Structure 1
């Protein structure tokens, strides 16, 4: 680039995306005089899904703003909780976030998940078609213009991933209402209705069951229930709204 020179300062929360030399102080950037501020920010490594306000010389501007020479720009993080307008809050997770998807479903959050790598274009198209917030650690995917909405998942640890998503979006929680396998809704079921899925010991020991309305999978309070209950209790204690 050989155009106007501007100064950009990234908030500390966005430090993951920018080189160490740019963290915590304004960075001198030479633009081409035609690119939007959104394009410039993304070219420096920060997906716009992670950007809240863009402040130019004390005034908030849109990502479509074309920087002029000498401007000082502050790039702020997304405010939390982040509100997603125009649709019920629903998520789409890529192939690398299966555990997070299952934990969101455990909490009753609508979380679609692609168990195979269908490619960035197909994921972005599904996000737009179904009006789902795309959750991913793939920065390239989050930069795709056809996305309806997106968010970077900052941690590689499922416990921290879940805590971050709940903190960022504050979804309504309705634990034990969704199938962790397919995201379908659960309803109460009799033992006879799910008998074909039960081993003899389970039939003898348990009497309360639920079944997925979509895939038919049966659920009961089995050997791992205490572990799942602990996940639910931590999520509710975090302060998100129970259903």
Structure 2
């Protein structure tokens, strides 16, 4: 008998979206296997329970066992700091996280095996909306991103992990570090209007892209302010 919390119902087919599910048991499957057979990635489950006692995913079960499933507590601590890897469908979310100064790797050409290998190699949490990807045995750490559109997705990531924010310290294009530079060092790269209107600039150490607080600055200021409030409410810090 599996008792999934309502927050996990989105992973279940409609006919199984209820507080208690009877699951056939072959006598040998582990707790983790039973959970994932329902369509729920283990990354989306907090410490499960069997017959009211905490249990690990590798624990064998028995006929008549009662399994309790809840989502991970929020905010969820990040292993090895705030480092993420996003799959190919989350490019806008990647750029927004970088604007907030969150170490975010993204490659729109990476396939599933590449993502799993890179997450382990660089010890990054893989963010995706692909449940099958999260169920890969070799995945080091991952999380399902809830929401449609980058605004809702960003709100979910900030609420779940409350990562430390360092706004405007990373390149939105490549994730490289931004450093302040004198105007004269980048003046030849600027359009005439930008040269006339702005005096303060930053440049990416990795790709050389130049940044300034331009016409889009108010929109980014609002993004940063909302994110700082959200992380503070979730129990994180700037």
TM-score between both structures, scaled by the size of structure 2: 0.96
More strand, by proportion: 1
Match of 1:112 in 2: 105
Q: How does 1:83-122 map to 2 (within 5 A)?
A: 83-85=77-79, 87-116=80-109, 118-122=110-114
Shift of 1:242: 4.7
Shift of 1:196: 2.7
Match of 2:191 in 1: 199
Shift of 1:26: 1.4
In 1, the alpha carbon distance for the partners of 2:215 and 2:19 equals: 52
Mark the CA change 1:242 to 1:198 in structure 2 (over 3 Å): closer, same or farther: farther
Match of 1:134 in 2: 126
In 1, the alpha carbon distance for the partners of 2:230 and 2:111 equals: 34
In 2, the alpha carbon distance for the partners of 1:125 and 1:231 equals: 32
Moved over 3 A (4+): 239-243
Aligned residues: 235
In 2, the alpha carbon distance for the partners of 1:169 and 1:205 equals: 38
Match of 1:38 in 2: 32
In 1, the alpha carbon distance for the partners of 2:48 and 2:230 equals: 29
Mark the CA change 1:216 to 1:242 in structure 2 (over 3 Å): closer, same or farther: farther
Deviation string for 1:132-161 (max 9, x for gaps)?
000001111111122111000111211110
Shift of 1:68: 0.2
Match of 2:53 in 1: 59
**Would you say the 8 A contact 1:174–1:242 is kept in 2?**
no
In 2, the alpha carbon distance for the partners of 1:187 and 1:25 equals: 52
1:233 to 2:218 alignment = no
**What are structure 2's unaligned runs of at least 5 residues?**
none
